[in-house]
Structure 1
């Protein structure tokens, strides 16, 4: 190997000009292609975790990233102040602000998509129902993947679920996505929505998903319903680690990555 001290200025510049060593294209072209690749737009999925608004966190939310990242999708898991520290109004406000923050942070987004499970599906649906005129930005959400969610909070007011949440009827009503269909139609009219439910979810959970789907459909929104066989409330989301799982394929198809 030649001693660099014995090289001429031109030889040194050649050795330390990586663009001139590419076999793919000319030096100028390879730099332009590199800049374009770094600036290329990518679809971005924001994931909202479940846990009945009182368990889990964003730290347990990376499981679905692998099959999506492999296909060139950016995945961001957001957290929120679970009960009893946080109340429902606060959690809804936090996830809405998180969406705004993510959009401001990631400038090269070809499409913004939401995915939520259980309580996270409820929060994703509340994001879809946001009046964005109150915020600095109006996100163009292209798709939402709502998995085994609760869309009317009134039935859980008298259950153990509400003990740490301490919701009254007024709080439950103003945080129930099923009561904000007109606002959703304004803010997310062009959004593709998939409402999914597990075959072995409880009859009430299944009813919540079916009724929310029908309400969205009646409102003229772009929505489809997925009744996922051989799954329960937990396995329906756990299997998103598998690139061959039906819902993983649907999520990728929604983003044009199938």
Structure 2
């Protein structure tokens, strides 16, 4: 058949280990560097915005939101995580009924969760038929994984412990539905120095959404890897920053 099924176990491990693909830093230091950059960015964001941190939206220990407000005031662990993200959006709509829209931006595993949000039947969460606020209004999926089956054969699944059934149920690629009139705009982003498997998944998922009638843009960013593709969002001149701001301004 070709593709990931023909790879050796070690080759597949490498494909889903982003730290092995960056030309900037070696794999033993790039994750620590990435954590340091993102932690510093979080501190800057919290210092420059009004925040409500660790807001519970459910009873589980992990069911908490960090909410950043504009200063001008204008069956499995995987199943559980997907449900938590969906519930958190329903909570936001209920808690802040005056907002104009909700925009998701997810990176890596976060991009997968954001893509799963696009599959949500919101009638189960009692937020429709009042659909004045689309859920979400826009989605930015950065260097994500949209078919989880290959991960079953890698170290990534050691923590997730997914069965094939769970992986298939939580694979956005396998559940692309025709776009509805209220469907949001989707931006699928991939880095030049993502692994070939990450790049393939982003390209194929974006194409599948487009074929189903979704409004999709594919953005292949040169000169960045799996980590600084998201780190650079703190830079006003970064193309992805500009594209996201433009998406929001059109609302």
Give the TM-score normalised by the residue count of structure 1. 0.67
Shift of 1:77: 9.5
Structure 2: distance between partners of 1:170 and 1:137: 29
> How big is the alpha-carbon RMSD for the aligned residues of Structure 1 and Structure 2?
3.3
Structure 2: distance between partners of 1:252 and 1:76: 24
Structure 1: distance between partners of 2:218 and 2:241: 15
State the match for 1:219 in structure 2. Answer: 212
- Indicate conservation of the 8 Å contact 1:116/1:124, yes or no: yes
Shift of 1:108: 2.2
Structure 2: distance between partners of 1:236 and 1:75: 27
What are the equivalent positions in structure 2 for 1:129-148 lying under 5 Å apart?
A: 129-138=119-128, 140=134, 141-148=136-143
Could you say which structure has the larger radius of gyration? 1
Shift of 1:132: 1.2
Shift of 1:246: 0.6
State the match for 1:242 in structure 2. Answer: 235
Describe the SS at the equivalent of 1:144. Answer: strand
Structure 2: distance between partners of 1:129 and 1:172: 15
What are the equivalent positions in structure 2 for 1:133-172 lying under 5 Å apart?
A: 133-138=123-128, 140=134, 141-172=136-167
Decide which of 169, 173, 181 is 1:178's aligned counterpart.
173
Q: Does residue 230 of the first structure (1) align with residue 223 of the second (2)?
A: yes
Structure 2: distance between partners of 1:133 and 1:178: 22
State the match for 1:204 in structure 2. Answer: 197
Q: Once the two structures are superposed, what CA deviation does each residue of 1:237-256 show, in whole Å capped at 9, x if it has no partner? A: 00001111110000000011
- Indicate conservation of the 8 Å contact 2:41/2:234, yes or no: no
Structure 2 residue runs of 5 or longer lacking an equivalent are 1-17, 19-34, 64-75
- Indicate conservation of the 8 Å contact 2:114/2:141, yes or no: yes
- Indicate conservation of the 8 Å contact 1:63/1:241, yes or no: no
Give every structure 1 segment of 4 or more consecutive aligned residues whose post-TM-superposition deviation is greater than 6 Å.
Answer: 73-80
- Indicate conservation of the 8 Å contact 1:112/1:143, yes or no: yes
Q: Which has the higher contact order (CA 8 A, sep 6+)?
A: 2
